[in-house]
């Protein structure tokens, strides 16, 4: 497991998702079977506390380490210092967006090539896809915020490759937040990237139809899960998860999904995870017959389906992780000005950093970065406050254009 910091952590301060790399004693003196493991939950913490006073934890990024220190430090002044660092120090959005945009382009080109080959009945290189997913996992671990912002770049009518890539990146990020190992992240990312691969065997006139599908067309689209299963089952070196997700990502907890009508525990955890993100990305993307929903509107759909369609615990964790205003969100301020969220404040999620791009009359303005957590003031000398989040491309704002120029701030 790649890490940036190996830190001594007292057992009582362990948190879910942490990777325990060393103990305060030899592994042979403990009951742990694995020499290095992820803390999955409170039970694991209690077990470590029984056997060790402290352990050594691998932190995969400076940001992950700062989050740990924020939760455990008892010094008010040090905590305030860390809060400032985690939100400001060394934050260069342009430097973060450039590699993320490059990685997205490479992955998109590869995925489009794979899908074209499948549509023509040709074989495709599975190793190339695996290598791309590994690179995406690496970028998410090192540059999560920018990579996740890339999933907010929506075209006028999202295609299969774009949707697959978005679902894969979001799934990797969410799985990381759940504490999965790097190998597991690669499995999740691969499964998510290939989940809709069977759509290339469906009549493309139906897939590309402008408008809602009739009953016969819907039955044709349903076949894509079996097609995906058949395509991936013929490939070597794929995990069972990849094949399971392709077949089962439209199953629902109540048994009303397809193709097998699975219920509850018959649906694996990785399928539940990908299913939530598949629906979320579809809802927030533009379709030929409707505009994409805002993030908040998509959350409402997920919440309405928790416990019946989707895993309730995962839905709640997904929303908590993604936050109300994820980077790339288009938001309107109380002053009437409009901006793009560029960074989430982990301690105050309703107070992100926003790049203002339109004035109160919804006309282009000189760009200004405001930090809602620091109570930056609007033209009426009131602290800036978000009143509403909008769907992608609202007010004619092209996130792709801003990402291309690195959200450069004019000063």
pLDDT-wise least confident of 27-36, 130-139, 211-220: 27-36
How remote is the C-alpha of 246 from its chain's centroid? 19
Question: Does the structure show a pLDDT above 80 at 148?
Answer: yes
Nearest to 151 by CA among 169, 138, 137, 133: 169
- pLDDT confidence tier of residue 82, bands split at 50, 70 and 90: low
State the pLDDT at residue 90. Answer: 40
State the pLDDT at residue 92. Answer: 59
Task: Name the CATH superfamily housing domain 93-322.
Answer: Hypothetical protein af1432 (1.10.3210.10)
How far apart are the C-alpha atoms of 39 and 228, rounded to whole Å? Answer: 34
Question: Does the structure show a pLDDT above 60 at 10?
Answer: yes
Mean pLDDT of the chain: 87
Which residues does 303 contact at the CB level (< 8 Å), separation at least 6? 315, 319
Please tell me what DSSP assigns to residue 394: G
Please tell me what DSSP assigns to residue 165: H
- Select the more confidently predicted residue: 252 or 156: 252
Question: Does the structure show a pLDDT above 50 at 401?
Answer: yes
Question: Does the structure show a pLDDT above 60 at 134?
Answer: yes
State the pLDDT at residue 63. Answer: 64
* pTM of the full structure: 0.77
Average pLDDT over residues 244-255: 97
Nearest to 352 by CA among 93, 13, 57: 93
Q: With left for phi above 0 and alpha for psi between -120 and 50, is residue 195 left, alpha or beta? A: alpha
Average pLDDT over residues 247-265: 96
pLDDT digits (tens, 9 = 90+) for 296-344: 999 999 999 999 999 999 999 999 999 999 989 999 999 999 999 988 8
CB atoms within 10 A of CB 401: 10
How far apart are the C-alpha atoms of 265 and 263, rounded to whole Å? Answer: 6
Domain coordinates in residue numbering, the chain: 5-87, 93-322, 330-404
- pLDDT confidence tier of residue 87, bands split at 50, 70 and 90: very low
State the pLDDT at residue 75. Answer: 64
pLDDT digits (tens, 9 = 90+) for 89-117: 444 566 778 888 889 999 999 999 999 99
- Is the separation of the CB atoms in 106 and 134 below 8 Å? no
Range of 15-19, 68-72, 175-179, 248-252 with top mean pLDDT = 248-252
- pLDDT confidence tier of residue 79, bands split at 50, 70 and 90: low
Average pLDDT over residues 354-368: 92
How far apart are the C-alpha atoms of 289 and 158, rounded to whole Å? Answer: 12
pLDDT digits (tens, 9 = 90+) for 14-34: 887 788 889 999 888 888 877
- Select the more confidently predicted residue: 158 or 113: 113
How far apart are the C-alpha atoms of 400 and 100, rounded to whole Å? Answer: 12
Label the pairing between strands 330-333 and 54-59. Answer: unpaired
- pLDDT confidence tier of residue 156, bands split at 50, 70 and 90: low
Supply the DSSP string of 109-124, one letter for each residue: HHHHHHHHHHHTT---
- Is the separation of the CB atoms in 255 and 262 below 8 Å? yes
Question: Does the structure show a pLDDT above 70 at 119?
Answer: yes
State the pLDDT at residue 407. Answer: 54
């Amino acid at each position: 497991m790649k890490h940036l910091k190996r830190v001594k952590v007292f057992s009582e301060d362990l948190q879910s998702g942490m990777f325990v790399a060393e103990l305060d004693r030899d592994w042979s003196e403990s009951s742990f079977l694995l020499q290095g493991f992820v803390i999955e939950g409170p039970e694991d913490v209690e077990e470590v506390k029984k056997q060790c006073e402290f352990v050594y934890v691998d932190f995969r990024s400076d940001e992950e380490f700062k989050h740990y220190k924020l939760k455990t430090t008892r010094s008010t002044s040090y905590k305030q210092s860390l809060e400032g660092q985690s939100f400001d120090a060394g934050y260069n959005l342009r430097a973060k967006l450039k590699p993320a945009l490059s990685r997205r382009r490479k992955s998109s080109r590869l995925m489009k090539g794979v899908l074209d080959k499948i549509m023509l009945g040709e074989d495709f290189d599975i190793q190339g896809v695996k290598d791309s997913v590994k690179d995406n996992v690496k970028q998410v671990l090192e540059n999560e915020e920018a990579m996740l912002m890339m999933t907010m770049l929506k075209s006028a009518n999202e295609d299969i490759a774009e949707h697959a890539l978005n679902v894969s990146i979001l799934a990797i990020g969410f799985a990381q937040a759940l504490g999965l190992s790097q190998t597991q992240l690669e499995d999740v990312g691969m499964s998510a990237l290939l989940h809709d691969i069977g759509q290339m065997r469906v009549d493309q006139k139906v897939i590309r139809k402008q408008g809602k599908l009739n009953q016969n067309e819907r039955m044709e689209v349903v076949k894509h899960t079996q097609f995906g299963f058949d395509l991936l089952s013929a490939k070597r070196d794929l995990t069972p998860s990849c094949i399971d997700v392709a077949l089962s990502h439209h199953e629902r907890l109540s048994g009303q999904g397809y193709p097998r009508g699975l219920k509850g525990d018959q649906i694996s955890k990785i399928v539940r995870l990908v299913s939530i993100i598949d629906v979320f990305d579809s809802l927030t993307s533009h379709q030929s017959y409707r505009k994409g929903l805002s993030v908040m509107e998509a959350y409402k759909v997920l919440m309405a389906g928790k416990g019946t369609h989707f895993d309730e615990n995962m839905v709640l964790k997904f929303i908590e992780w993604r936050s109300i205003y994820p980077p790339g969100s288009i938001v309107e301020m109380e002053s009437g000005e409009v901006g793009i969220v560029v960074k989430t404040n982990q301690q105050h999620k309703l107070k992100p950093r926003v790049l203002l791009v339109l004035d109160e009359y919804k006309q282009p303005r000189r760009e200004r970065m405001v930090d809602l957590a620091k109570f930056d003031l609007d033209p009426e000398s009131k602290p800036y406050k978000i009143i509403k989040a909008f769907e992608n491309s609202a007010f004619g704002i092209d996130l792709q254009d801003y990402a291309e120029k690195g959200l450069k701030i004019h000063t």
